[in-house]
Amino acid sequence: EARRLAGYRQGREICDRLLRHLSDDPTGNRVNTWLREADDPRLNSIVQQLFRVLRGLHG
């Protein structure tokens, strides 16, 4: 999904970083810090979409 939204290379980087942050801190605090520091509405939108996909797989 990230690759579809952001392109092949950048989508993979976003997905890898998101999963790394979630594995380091399952509460999501590191993800929130990353998004706040990036201050990028497009990145925020992509990550929100990835969370929707993950909830669909595990919900």
**Residue 57, H or E segment:** helix 41-58
Can you give the residue ranges of every domain in the chain?
2-58
Reduced to 3 states (helix: H, G, I; strand: E, B; else coil), residue 41 is: helix
pLDDT by residue (tens digit) across 12-55? 999 999 999 999 999 999 999 999 999 999 999 999 999 999 88
What pLDDT, on the 0 to 100 scale, is given for residue 22? 94
| 7: its two tokens | 């392109």
Per-residue model confidence (pLDDT) at position 35 = 98
Using alpha carbons, list the distances in angstroms from residue 5 to 9, 14, 25: 11, 10, 25
Q: How far apart are the first and last CA of the chain?
A: 17
The pTM score is 0.85
Question: Alpha-carbon distance 14 to 3, whole Å?
Answer: 9
Q: Would the pLDDT of 57 be above 90?
A: no
Cα–Cα distance, 56 to 50 (Å, whole number)? 10
